[in-house]
Amino acid sequence: MMKYSFLIYHKEYIPFLEKLQELGVLHIIEKKKEVNENIKLSLQHISDINKSLKFLGTRNKEEVAEKTGMDGLAIVEKIRSLNDELSAIELEQLTLNKEIQKAEPWGDFNPDMQEKLANLHIKIKLFVCGEKKFNPDWKEKYPIEIVNTKEGYAYFVAFQHGANPIDLDAEEVKLPEHSLKQLLAKDEANKNRVAEIQNVFDEFAIKYQGVLKDTRQQIQEKTDFELAINHTEKQAEEKVMLLEGWIPEEKKDELETTLNEQNVYYLSAKPVEGEKVPIKLKNNKYAKLFEPIGDLFSLPDYAELDLTPFFAPFFMLFFGFCVGDSGYGLLILIATIILRFKVDAKWKPVMTLASFLGGATVIMGMISGTFFGINLVDVEIYPLKEMILEPLNLFWLSLMIGGAQIFFGMIIKAVNQIKQRGLKYGLSTIGWIFLIIGAGSIVVLQQLNIEISKSITYVIFGISGTLILIFSNPDINVFASVGAGLYDVYNMVTGIFGDLLSYIRLFAIGISSAILGLVFNQIASQFLGGSFFSYLPFIIILLIGHGLNIFLACLGGFVHPMRLTFVEFYKNAGFTGGGKQYKPFSK
């Protein structure tokens, strides 16, 4: 990245910004955190449009490009208004359903009848009680008529003439305010209105998503323009405008050509230590597939290495280890290759990444010896039995892979320290690398019955110990550095041991996936018999069982490798992170 500072006369500033936005290469350095009300309103409009697009996207309707004079913000307001109406109807339906439930036992009772009878000094009273509790003698004593019997309850009406009281051992209920016919009509009207609103939403999803995206783009460009002005410093009694930003080094010729054409005064400089430089990752096609995974944690700091190409092969291997079934891997591989030709362009890299993970699963499944839960050791015609490892060997393989990644991370840490601060800051890590290589070589040679001179052992431990202790912190004196180094030795030994044990999860998850597949096969096989129909439950159990197992295995195969990458590998690689993505001021 290159840092550029521009000085522009205030009357020429707006045309300059318009040209800069059209060029679309400058990441503006933010100078002010506060924004004015116009920017806040525009940001709110963008947020509202995003919510509307997300809502319309859930309708799963195919968009049809159509020219329309409708304004995107008017569409947003209409969607909000209709959603508010839906909420009001849903709230009304809660009360309405209760009223219908209360009115149903009484049939189409007309509340207006109450007023007519009241003129004749007759009062209507409604009662309910258990059918067994209803006393037939009540009919002899009072004018009573049973209206309905339902679910063990009797619903009846009594007519009170004048002031004569009606005394019954039954629960008196309130007269319905509306007739059942009116309530059902209102319920039907509400349902019809909900259907109308849903049809409007479907129509909007088909016609107006493009309008919303265009409106969002226009507002975003306008907002970016206002933010650029907001981050401008006014100099020389507000006659001169100062703007600063970053551009990728390969874009500087393009920018400077435009600046020279406009006679703009500018200064350019390379980043200095401590500056917050935006990050634009540069990876090959393979490593770029894994960038979304790295983004889930953090972008690297500008001064450090991007770890994406370094963790990518390990992530593939870990995923294959966790899923651990060549049949599942083959299914993932075939499905994602087919889907890659059917999905939108933005999803093609995801499908390609999934294809790589499926391929890694096929390979690791051949090593673990499982194919849709079938143990390939028992399959006579399987030609690659010599590749299959016993569970104990898989256990040691997971630890070996973990040790390799941790050691690789330490090498990257040393390179990062030397790149960022100088050779002396990487010497302590180099000491650890030298110690691991030396000690490992001694162990291997001893296993091969090759005698090692003690002096060589002393040299290895002496050199590595010196580097580890003396250069643990080059910014302090030697004695303090040795003390800090001893503390680092304790942390390193215990930390590496704990990190190494974390990789056992690869073995455990892979074995559990294989066992679950085997169990589903055994359960399904119990339903097989002489009848043709016995194949139906057999197939259903296999589909459900293996479908569930694939889901769980892929979930674990994604989450746990990510944990090993972001915790064990990033820690041992000395990853700092905290980088901010490069976002150019553009249309």
- Of 243, 230, 251, 245, nearest to 12 by C-alpha is 243
Residue with token string 């499905």? 335
Beta strands in 210-321 (DSSP E): 233-235, 240-247, 265-269
Q: What is the model's pLDDT at position 125?
A: 84
Q: For residues 318, 321, 324 and 330, what is the CA-based torsion angle, rounded to 10 degrees?
A: 50
Structure tokens at 76: 């947003």
What parts of the chain have a pLDDT lower than 50? none
Phi/psi-derived region of residue 113, left when phi > 0, alpha when psi is between -120 and 50, beta in every other case:
alpha
For the chain, the C-alpha Rg in angstroms (whole number) is 37
Q: What is the model's pLDDT at position 177?
A: 76
Tell me which DSSP letter residue 278 carries: -
pTM: 0.75
Strand partners, 406: none
Structural domains of the chain sorted by starting position, each given as residue range(s) with its CATH number in brackets: 1-31+231-278 (3.30.70.120), 32-100+181-226 (no CATH), 112-175 (no CATH), 285-426+471-572 (no CATH)
Structure tokens at 151: 């679910």
Report the C-alpha gap between 557 and 453 in whole angstroms.
45
Structure tokens at 185: 């009509």
Contact 175, 126 (CB under 8 A): yes
Structure tokens at 400: 């070996």
Residue 368 burial class via C-beta count within 10 angstroms: exposed 0-12, middle 13-18, buried 19 and up = buried
Q: What is the model's pLDDT at position 530?
A: 67
Q: Angle between the 209-230 and 180-207 helix axes, to the nearest 10 degrees?
A: 70
Report the C-alpha gap between 190 and 194 in whole angstroms.
6
Q: What is the model's pLDDT at position 66?
A: 65
Phi/psi-derived region of residue 574, left when phi > 0, alpha when psi is between -120 and 50, beta in every other case:
left
Contact 46, 220 (CB under 8 A): yes
How many Å from the N-terminal Cα to the C-terminal Cα in the chain?
21
Indicate the residue type of 209: Q
